[in-house]
């Protein structure tokens, strides 16, 4: 007979369990649950940003989607600057898994020393490192084919400048990040840059994209900017000033071409310059010296002094000025002419560029009136034009002028201006007395302007400028086949410190054409010509001549002359101090 077993009679089971033990266990479990809830609240509410960031570091990647920068166009729609696809190579050093052969191939494709690539990829503390910015698409495809873990490509845009050196000092350049650093690129950054997009993705432990996170914001392209520049005139002017700088062994040179009717700047070139196609690898484009550099304009100021005297009725174009002395002493300083003239009419004072004649005329003018004339012509004021680095020049208050300073001011010493300012000021003579408002943006219709002198005075001075560019004037090399021209040459000693250099000059020619109904104003400047010739009428006027002819033909202006220009073999130089 099998014995029955009664478990309930076991001494252990029969003993009564203490109540505190049950309560302790329940309390421990409750505390554990409270701790878990507290930790969840802490993580989800108070430290959610931290843990989200840590998760993003490990699994999420954020990508900016670069905007396509706006194009820069000339007045006819010719592209001066545009953006093309150019991927950039970057890496996450701690993810790198590559063989020595792969790394050697990568360095070769990037055209970088292998040791430099190895150094960048060894920075395991970095989450991100650029290997090379903006490479060719073909090279990017070859890098992808290497299948190196931890090496990635980013879609970017590279700036291209089809017109090269002829426009670089005007159009400017951008940084590797597509930000304008010089010229039009910098001045119109807000319009050109566009707005970048954004995309966030989740990647697995192998670096493969799993999914997009959130909404992708597409980039919006920048706005195109259409300039007033004519690329044909710009290119031709660049070639001519480049040749003139080289031929005359000058330090630099510049040309400005201004539409007299619309105020549009058709060309603004400087030489020497640098190519901006690979702007982020170079030192950057040089400044546009037509806008940025100021100098004493010398004889180019004489027409303004004469215009003021005509306006006040102090002289007439045929008034005779005694200039028999080859020198004139004022305040202990000697003022000279290159040639001695017994008498000159007011017209001949401009034609022969007589310092003595100009000073004698100015002696009947008060300093305040002269200052107001120069000021209304734009001297001493920053031109109202959207372009970086534009100088205001210098025009001291008239109350500080001493007699000798008033005298030298009359023929262009003691004040300073840029080539652009002088070219703009000559619009007074081209537009019957009105100073035009210039622009670098294409403009439809006439330019805003203000009256400075009467139409009668403007026409009288225009005739004098034509005489100055005739075979008997100092600017006869400015004569242009098929077109009548007028203008003024200038040559001034360069100021070095507080004194003037004996053998260093700035030479220029500023004029307009055709003379009866001017369509363009052209300014030319050469800095320190040192090949034996330095007078503006000899080194700068020829550049003016060919630039005028090309510009007017490009604009479709019909010739107003049928005769060949008459040029003397030994032109008379202008006076300088």
Residues annotated as catalytic (active site), given as ranges: 299
The contacts of residue 96 (CB under 8 Å, 6+ apart) are 121, 148, 149, 150, 151
Question: How far apart (Å, rounded) are the C-alpha atoms in residues 554 and 213?
Answer: 56
Consecutive H or E run containing 56: helix 48-59
Angle between helices 114-121 and 100-110 (to 10 degrees): 110
Taking Cα atoms as reference points, which of 163, 164, 185 lies closest to residue 174? Answer: 185
The contacts of residue 16 (CB under 8 Å, 6+ apart) are none
Q: Give the length of the chain.
A: 577
| Residues forming beta bridges with residue 508, ordered by sequence position | 490, 525
In the sheet that holds 151-154, the strands lie side by side as 129-132, 88-91, 151-154
3-state secondary structure 98-146: CCHHHHHHHHHHHCCCHHHHHHHHCCCCCCCEEEECCCCHHHHHHHHHH
| Residues forming beta bridges with residue 500, ordered by sequence position | 495
Question: How far apart (Å, rounded) are the C-alpha atoms in residues 368 and 391?
Answer: 23
Residue 47 gets which letter from DSSP?
S
| Residues forming beta bridges with residue 255, ordered by sequence position | 269, 524
């Amino acid at each position: 007979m099998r014995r029955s077993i009664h478990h309930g009679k076991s001494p252990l089971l029969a003993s009564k369990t203490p109540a505190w033990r049950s309560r302790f266990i329940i309390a421990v479990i409750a505390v554990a649950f409270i701790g878990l809830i507290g930790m969840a609240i802490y993580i989800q509410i108070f430290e959610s940003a931290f843990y989200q960031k840590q998760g993003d570091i490990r699994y999420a990647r954020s990508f900016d989607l670069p905007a396509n920068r706006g194009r820069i166009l000339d007045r006819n729609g010719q592209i001066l600057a545009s953006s093309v696809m150019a991927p950039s190579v970057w890496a996450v050093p701690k993810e790198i898994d590559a063989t020595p052969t792969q790394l050697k191939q990568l360095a070769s494709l990037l055209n970088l020393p292998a040791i430099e690539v190895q150094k960048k990829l060894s920075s395991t503390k970095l989450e991100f490192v650029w290997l090379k910015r903006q490479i060719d698409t073909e090279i990017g495809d070859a890098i992808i084919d290497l299948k190196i873990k931890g090496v990635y490509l980013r879609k970017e845009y590279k700036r291209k400048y089809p017109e090269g050196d002829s426009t670089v000092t005007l159009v400017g350049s951008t940084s590797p990040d597509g930000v304008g650093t010089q010229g039009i690129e910098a001045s119109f950054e807000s319009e050109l840059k566009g707005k970048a997009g954004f995309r966030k993705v989740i990647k697995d432990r192998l670096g493969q994209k799993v999914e997009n996170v959130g909404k992708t914001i597409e980039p919006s392209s920048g706005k195109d900017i259409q300039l007033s520049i004519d690329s044909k005139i710009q290119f031709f002017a660049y070639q001519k000033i480049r040749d003139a700088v080289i031929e005359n062994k000058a330090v630099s040179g510049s040309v400005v071409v201004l539409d007299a009717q619309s105020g549009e700047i058709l060309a603004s070139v400087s030489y020497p310059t640098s190519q901006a196609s690979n702007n982020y690898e170079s030192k950057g484009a040089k400044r546009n010296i037509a806008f940025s550099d100021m100098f004493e304009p010398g004889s180019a100021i004489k027409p303004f002094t004469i215009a003021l005297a005509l306006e006040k009725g102090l002289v007439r174009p045929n008034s005779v000025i005694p200039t028999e002395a080859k020198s004139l002493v004022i305040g202990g300083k000697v003022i000279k002419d290159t040639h001695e003239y017994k008498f000159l009419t007011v017209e001949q004072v401009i034609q022969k560029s007589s310092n003595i004649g100009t000073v004698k005329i100015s002696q009947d003018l008060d300093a305040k009136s002269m200052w107001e004339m120069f000021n209304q012509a734009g001297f001493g004021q920053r031109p109202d034009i959207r372009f970086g680095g534009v100088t205001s020049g210098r025009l001291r208050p008239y109350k500080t002028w001493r007699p000798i300073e008033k005298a030298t001011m009359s023929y262009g010493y003691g004040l300073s201006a840029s080539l652009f300012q002088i070219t703009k000021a000559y619009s007074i003579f081209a537009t019957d007395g009105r100073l035009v408002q210039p622009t670098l943006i294409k403009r439809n219709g006439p330019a805003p302007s203000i009256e400075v002198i009467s139409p009668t005075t403007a026409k009288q001075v225009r005739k004098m400028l034509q005489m100055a560019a005739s075979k008997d004037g100092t600017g006869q090399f400015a004569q242009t086949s098929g077109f009548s021209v007028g203008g003024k040459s200038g040559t001034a000693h360069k100021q070095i410190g507080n004194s003037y250099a004996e053998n260093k000059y700035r030479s220029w020619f500023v004029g307009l054409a055709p003379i009866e109904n001017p369509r363009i104003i052209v300014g030319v400047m050469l800095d320190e010509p040192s090949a034996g010739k330095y007078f503006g009428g000899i080194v700068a006027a020829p550049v003016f001549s060919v630039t005028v002819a090309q510009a007017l033909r490009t604009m479709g202006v019909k010739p107003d002359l049928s005769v060949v220009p008459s040029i003397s073999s030994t032109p008379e130089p202008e006076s300088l101090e």
